[in-house]
Amino acid sequence: MAQAKKALSRTTKKSARAGAAGGNGTKGGARAASKTYSNYIGGEWVAAAGGEYFENVNPADTRDVVGRFPVSTAEDVNRAVAAAKAAAEGWRRMPAPRRAEILFRLGNILIRDKDSHSADMTREMGKVLKETGGDVQEAIDCTFYTAGEGRRLHGYTTPAEMPDKFAMCVRQPVGLCGLITPWNFPMAIPSWKLIPALVCGNTVVIKPAEDTPLSTYNLVKACEEAGVPKGVVNMVTGYGAAAGKPLTEHRDVRLISFTGSTETGRLIAGACADRNAICSLELGGKNVIIVMDDADVDLAVEGAVWGAFGTSGQRCTASSRIVVHKKVYKKFTQKLVERAANLRVGDGANANTDMGPVINAAAVHKILGYIEVGEKQDGAKLATGGKRLTTGAHANGYFIEPTVFTDVAPDMRIAQEEIFGPVTAVIPTNNLEEAVEIANGVRYGLSAAIYTQDVNRAFHAMNDMYTGIFYVNSSTIGAEVHLPFGGTKATGNGHREAGTQVLDIFTEWKSVYVDYSGKLQRAQIDEVSFE
């Protein structure tokens, strides 16, 4: 079966890997029925120059082909960049409040189509409908919130040091932006990049993840309907090395905004450094929930289940470590294990499913590999889960049991490395000080949470956790669009998306001095007398 699919040579990561991992393959009928999509370049829907397509398949059932998407290469990227370049001046000159009006229309279109976009997303990505609804909602929230910046985009005025001189600074667009996005939030993350880029007056080329191009297609199609001018938004679909890399290396692309794996982020940072392009990176996490002895244990379990197994653990903010005070350790782990073991794993499109599949066969391989490391190498206790589900309704998808390791030591690999799957590690601790040390003892710094009833402990932890996001009595996931999003250490390179902070990614500052004295005034040199 794997060989038969290879022979087609037009496969996605998902479908190619279905065979490799022993998935039950695809049905010819499903392939024939799937819709063929196009790139969007200069306001036209076009095929890739090479005329090749890849298949986007449903990770809950790889026989279901969601669509065929262009395999783009440098030639397509060059065309898209040229279109974005041609549109740049007109878009930059359009007053920001007018740009925002188009984006408000976009927000309304997304509201109108929310249900069908959610269904498409569940089909191409796997997470349950409630969560894909949340993903689309995040794009809607981001659109309305950020479009509001069209009437702000504040700079500031400040006194000049010479008389009869005025000083201010204003934001200007950076220019042409390349946006490279992952598959786990296939509409929310593109929107976090696209909407601020647009309201700030930039033109863009977006390259969505090869596993989930349909949700970005839906977003771009909505931009077209909203009246975004031709060439302002361009989309090329395809693989990272063939379509993403040429975008990162193109000399006309001034900025790359990337969310994805730490390894790819490092390559992209290198490509940008070569030509002094701006680069914003949003990478991995190894997020932690601290549960203190005074915590509401049921609430903490609730938060841990949601944080560890929501989106099948495939969130950069997933709760992959839970550091629990020894006094409540037994009670907490018993309840967590029981809840995890009872989660219903299945197709996210079914209303009674709690947790969907993981994204593709490579993910299955990686996650099972880590489970083996946890058991055999690290010597942690596998308290529940640990296996791939391969029979009955699970036979044709990428399903893994919700998995809890207990008695984990902080330096074990499963407590240090990002697994990006439904696996969490419970680590016992003696006190808050030790818990914070464990919590900070990883290379990433995205999200952390504490469950406690004691306000002093909550603030101590807030102050001492070196992360970009911190929650009290809530899980590690649940960011809102009007607060900055991002992390410290290996999670990124110092930028923040969302909030107004994202404007610092997509604009550059221009300082403006207006001298109305009618004479040469030299700052730092001339002595000024006011007698």
Residues that bind ligand ADP (CB under 6 A): 180-182, 207, 209-210, 239-241, 244-245, 248, 260-261, 264, 267-268
Q: How far is the CB of 77 from ligand ADP (least distance, A)?
A: 10
Q: How far is the CB of 253 from ligand ADP (least distance, A)?
A: 12
| Coil, strand or helix at 194 | helix
d(CA 305, CA 64): 29
Residue 212 and residue 57 in contact, taking contact as beta carbons nearer than 8 Å: no
d(CA 14, CA 25): 11
Q: Which one from 177, 316, 418, 497 is the annotated catalytic residue?
A: 316
Q: How far is the CB of 137 from ligand ADP (least distance, A)?
A: 22
DSSP secondary structure code for residue 252 in this structure: T
d(CA 420, CA 432): 27
Q: How far is the CB of 262 from ligand ADP (least distance, A)?
A: 8
322: nearest Cα among 208, 218, 451, 209: 451
Residues contacting residue 172 through CB under 8 Å, at least 6 positions apart:
201, 507, 508, 509, 510
Q: 259 or 403, CB closer to ligand ADP?
A: 259
Q: 240 or 307, CB closer to ligand ADP?
A: 240
Six-digit token pair at 69? 């998407």
Six-digit token pair at 147? 């479009």
d(CA 220, CA 204): 11
Q: How far is the CB of 69 from ligand ADP (least distance, A)?
A: 12
Q: How far is the CB of 205 from ligand ADP (least distance, A)?
A: 12
Q: 104 or 239, CB closer to ligand ADP?
A: 239
d(CA 385, CA 305): 13
Tracing tokens 């890399």 back to the chain, one arrives at 245
DSSP secondary structure code for residue 519 in this structure: S
d(CA 224, CA 212): 20
Long-range contacts of 381-388 (CB under 8 A, 24+ apart): 381/405, 381/406, 381/407, 383/333, 383/337, 383/426, 384/337, 384/340, 384/341, 385/340, 385/341, 385/422, 385/423, 388/364
Cα angle 168-173-175, degrees, rounded to a multiple of 5: 145
Helix axes 13-20, 361-372, angle to 10 degrees: 50
Q: 112 or 266, CB closer to ligand ADP?
A: 266
Q: 249 or 347, CB closer to ligand ADP?
A: 249
Residue 282 annotated to the active site:
yes
What's the sign of the alpha-carbon dihedral 518, 524, 529, 530? positive
Q: 209 or 336, CB closer to ligand ADP?
A: 209
Residue 200 annotated to the active site:
no
Q: 78 or 261, CB closer to ligand ADP?
A: 261
Half-sphere exposure of 367 (CA within 13 A, CB side): 29
Residues contacting residue 273 through CB under 8 Å, at least 6 positions apart:
279
Q: How far is the CB of 58 from ligand ADP (least distance, A)?
A: 17
Q: 209 or 324, CB closer to ligand ADP?
A: 209
Q: How far is the CB of 181 from ligand ADP (least distance, A)?
A: 6
Q: Which one from 124, 138, 210, 282 is the annotated catalytic residue?
A: 282
| Coil, strand or helix at 89 | helix
Strand partners, 178: 205, 256
Residues contacting residue 271 through CB under 8 Å, at least 6 positions apart:
245, 248, 249, 256, 277
79: nearest Cα among 252, 317, 307, 310: 252
Helix (H) or strand (E) holding 403: strand 403-406
DSSP secondary structure code for residue 62 in this structure: E
Strand partners, 180: 207, 258
Residue 195 and residue 228 in contact, taking contact as beta carbons nearer than 8 Å: no
Q: 38 or 261, CB closer to ligand ADP?
A: 261
Q: 283 or 425, CB closer to ligand ADP?
A: 283
Catalytic site positions: 282, 316
